[in-house]
Amino acid sequence: MSPPDGDHTYATRFRIPKRMWDAYGRVTQRLGTDRSARLLDAVRADIKAHGDQRDLADLAAAEEELTERRSRKGGRPPKSAPVRPDPQEQP
């Protein structure tokens, strides 16, 4: 699955038993993190341990990209339920 042009961060799919995924979610929550962060850490560790020069260069470039994206994101307001107009108020 390759990302669209201009978008280098994408969602990927893999198969895992639902109970295992749910258990992993609970474990990561107890660790004070989430599944995505833990999976990214595992990917980084594998690349650092087993990657060649190209893999390490790609990892460095990806880390820079993540840093840029996170700095641009800065302070996005939390999602909230849409506010419905009060039917008693007249326009």
Q: What CA–CA distance (Å, rounded) separates 79 from 88?
A: 26
Q: What CA–CA distance (Å, rounded) separates 59 from 52?
A: 11
65, 8 Cβ separation under 8 angstroms: yes
pLDDT confidence tier of residue 8, bands split at 50, 70 and 90: low
* 18-46: pLDDT as tens digits: 999 999 999 999 999 999 999 999 999 99
DSSP 83: P
Q: Report the chain's mean pLDDT, rounded to a whole number.
A: 82
49, 59 Cβ separation under 8 angstroms: no
